[in-house]
A and B are shown apart, each in its own frame.
Chain A
Amino acid sequence: MTDLPIKNHIRRFRFETGEMTQKELAAHVGVTRQTIVAIENAKYSPTLELAFKIAELFNVGIEDVFQYTTGNDK
């Protein structure tokens, strides 16, 4: 399966937020660490609710964390 069209900067934001671990982020937003791993590796597109939770945790807008990339952008 090819990578999903939604890219993200979760990894960068985690490190900018006191080197937060995937486990800590998962616990904060109420999912498993495997889901965070899948999102970071573009293997899973989160629901809007989860995307907002993640953005809120980093205190940024949702568009700062997630970007939709069309075929032309790749």
Chain B
Amino acid sequence: MSPFIKSTYVSIFTTVVIFLVYALWVFQIMGIGYFTGPDELVRIGKTIGTLILAGWAFHIIVVLGAILLDAKKSGKGMHELIVDERDKQINYRSMYISMHVLCAGIFLSIGALAHGWAPFWVFNIIVLFYALANMTELGAKLFFIHQGIRA
């Protein structure tokens, strides 16, 4: 398995873990009640800020660790670890597709805001669609890796 495919599978794992932990933290441990009241925007902002920072740190550490460990075990050379033109094309095409999912979430959240939804739900619509966009991107990557890609 190439480092590119491996990193895609590991990214699926980290994405699921990050957003499951987020959902558990927000809806089970803290509870929706924590995000209401005069400090709601500050609390929501801090939670989403933590999600982004901790999530990215976890993602980078796990993906890098998995690739380097695999390279060490299998004795892959540095040329096997490069991101070449095909990988870049797959990345761009997948990101383009996932962008539409994220945009749908942003438009939905604007609609929710217009209908007077609480900020907590508006922000979480964006978070949900961010997670969906991530999964769409990774799924699209796997599709293009296995089915081929046209320029």
Partner of B4, one of A34, A43, A45: A34
Name the residue on A nearest B78 (C-beta).
A27
Contact of B151 with A43 in the complex, beta carbons under 8 Å: no
Contact of B85 with A50 in the complex, beta carbons under 8 Å: yes
The interface bits of chain A over 35-60 (1 if a CB of B lies within 8 angstroms of the residue's CB, else 0) are 10010011111110010000000000
Interface centre among A34, A46, A50 (most CB of B within 10 A): A34
A34 and B85 in contact (CB under 8 A), knowing A27-B77, A43-B147, A43-B148? no
A32 and B77 in contact (CB under 8 A), knowing A43-B147, A43-B148? no
Contact of B151 with A45 in the complex, beta carbons under 8 Å: yes
- Cα distance A31–B4 in the bound complex, in angstroms: 12
Interface residues of chain A: helix, strand, loop or mixed (majority):
loop
What chain A residues lie within 8 Å of B149 (beta carbons)? Answer: 43-44
Closest Cβ of chain A to B117, distance in Å, is 41
Partner of A47, one of B82, B85, B148, B150: B85
The interface bits of chain B over 70-91 (1 if a CB of A lies within 8 angstroms of the residue's CB, else 0) are 0000000101101011110000
Interface size class of A (residues with CB under 8 A): 20 to 34
Contact of B87 with A32 in the complex, beta carbons under 8 Å: yes
Check B47 for interface membership: any CB of A closer than 8 A: no
Contact of B82 with A30 in the complex, beta carbons under 8 Å: yes
Interface centre among B4, B86, B149 (most CB of A within 10 A): B86
- Cα distance A41–B86 in the bound complex, in angstroms: 14
5 contacts between A and B (CB under 8 A): A3-B148, A32-B86, A35-B87, A44-B86, A47-B85
Chain B interfacial positions (CB closer than 8 Å to A): 2, 4-5, 77, 79-80, 82, 84-87, 145, 147-151
Chain A interfacial positions (CB closer than 8 Å to B): 1, 3-4, 26-27, 30-35, 38, 41-47, 50
